[in-house]
């Protein structure tokens, strides 16, 4: 096993870059060459640290009068060390010793005494610190103040539960490929391997604990995919039938496209504006034994790719704040800004208007976000209905807003139908 100091140094470098505005997923890709055990430790440190970023920042402010003059890597190292101490995964003396040693690895020799003293001070004064942190919203809820305010305003009875869910580990749910096996059959196959599951949807199996996909029997052969149970609702809400012409307008990495094709025999076009992400769609479909027309294109610019033949069904899983899946992308909480919600809403409106022109009379469009912010959910739909005379909004038969919880992430769904 690599010393904790090495994992601290690598994680601190990643976290410092994320704090400066880089994407966590992109930064984690750069560590993909690390041995699996080391990579697991780095991943845990990065994700755990960024989930409680607001708390860790507050701890440094409370414990140090020189935080503003500290090298960003040293500051990030302290955040990682706080997470390690509070995670219970390591002995306290080990964390303090290894964090100090990590200063050398990040070429910050002079910071050893500072890091050692600050962490020891934290251990001595935890009780008094907790009382002070409870009065600081970002430190107690681990979210930016503007985000807390948005959630509290939208869900006055549930806001603390929504925020708390955003700080947890994500559930791992499988979607069973109905074209290759049954839910019951695949659950039995997993049980034979000692893998505990619970059925929570038509095609969804919730794992008792997360596992690498390499340990899932038949995964490489397309028997199942990893997909959140909330995301799996999309295919069930579109009223799909064999032979329909269907568009998945923002399709990467292809989970929803695959589910559509597993549900019915469709003529499916899957779009994404990013060529690399379109390659992901094709790989995912190939593993599952499915096929679609995958195109690199901007769904909001149909003149560049559309052949003029209307689609009977359109899935619009639009770009959004990702506030409903913040626990999967903890950097999103800190990289987003309050004005982003309005900017996303404007983009979502443009996409809706463009896609509506491609929908056949009597056709249905499902609008989806992985957001809990009303400004990019119900408000966008209300504005669209107000300006679109031939649109109607039939009831879903289920709650349009899913809030994140133990079994699923947060999603919003709105079904729109074009009058004949």
> ∠ CA 288-289-292 to the nearest 5 degrees?
100
Q: Which of the residues 80, 250, 278, 370 is marked catalytic?
A: 370
Whose tokens are 């679109």? That residue is 388
User: Is 320 one of the annotated active-site residues of the chain?
Assistant: no
Name the token pair of 85. Answer: 């101490």
User: Pairing relation of β-strands 411-418 and 359-369?
Assistant: antiparallel
Query: What number of CA atoms fall less than 13 Å from residue 378's CA on the CB side?
Result: 8
Name the residues annotated as catalytic: 370
């Amino acid at each position: 096993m690599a010393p904790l100091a090495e994992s601290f140094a690598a994680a601190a470098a990643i976290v410092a870059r994320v704090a400066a505005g880089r994407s966590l997923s992109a930064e984690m890709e750069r560590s993909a060459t690390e041995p699996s055990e080391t990579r697991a430790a780095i991943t845990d440190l990065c994700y755990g640290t960024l989930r409680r970023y607001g708390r860790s920042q507050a701890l440094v402010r409370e414990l140090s009068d020189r935080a503003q003059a500290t090298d960003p890597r040293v500051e990030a190292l302290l955040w990682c060390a706080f997470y390690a101490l509070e995670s219970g995964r390591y002995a306290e003396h080990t964390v303090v010793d290894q964090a100090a040693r990590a200063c050398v690895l990040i070429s910050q020799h002079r910071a050893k005494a500072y890091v050692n003293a600050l962490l020891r001070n934290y251990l001595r004064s935890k009780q008094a610190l907790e009382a002070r942190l409870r009065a600081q919203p970002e430190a107690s809820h681990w979210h930016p103040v503007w985000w807390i305010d948005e959630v509290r305003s939208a869900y006055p009875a549930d806001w603390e539960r929504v925020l708390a869910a955003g700080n947890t580990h994500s559930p791992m749910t499988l979607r069973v490929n109905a074209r290759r096996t049954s839910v019951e059959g695949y659950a039995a196959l997993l049980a034979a391997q000692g893998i505990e599951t619970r059925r929570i949807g038509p095609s969804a199996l919730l794992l008792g604990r997360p596992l690498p996909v390499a340990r899932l029997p038949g995964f490489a052969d397309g028997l199942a995919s990893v997909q959140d149970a909330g995301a799996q609702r999309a295919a069930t809400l579109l009223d799909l039938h064999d032979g329909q012409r269907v568009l998945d307008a923002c399709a990467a990495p292809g989970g929803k496209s695959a589910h559509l094709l597993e549900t019915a025999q469709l003529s499916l076009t899957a779009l994404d504006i990013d060529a690399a992400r379109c390659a992901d769609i094709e790989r995912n479909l190939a593993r599952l034994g499915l096929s679609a027309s995958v195109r690199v294109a901007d769904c909001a610019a149909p003149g560049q790719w559309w052949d003029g033949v209307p689609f009977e069904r359109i899935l619009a899983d639009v770009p959004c704040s990702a506030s409903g899946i913040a626990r999967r992308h903890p950097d999103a909480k800190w990289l987003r800004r309050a004005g982003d919600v309005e900017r996303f809403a404007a983009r979502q409106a443009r996409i809706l208007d463009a896609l509506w022109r491609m929908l056949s009379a009597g056709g249905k469009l499902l609008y989806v976000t992985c957001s809990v912010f009303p400004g990019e959910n119900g408000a966008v739909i209300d504005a669209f209905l107000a300006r679109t005379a031939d649109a109607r909004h039939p009831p879903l038969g289920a709650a349009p807003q899913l809030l994140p919880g133990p079994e699923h992430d947060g999603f919003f769904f709105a079904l729109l139908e074009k009058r004949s």
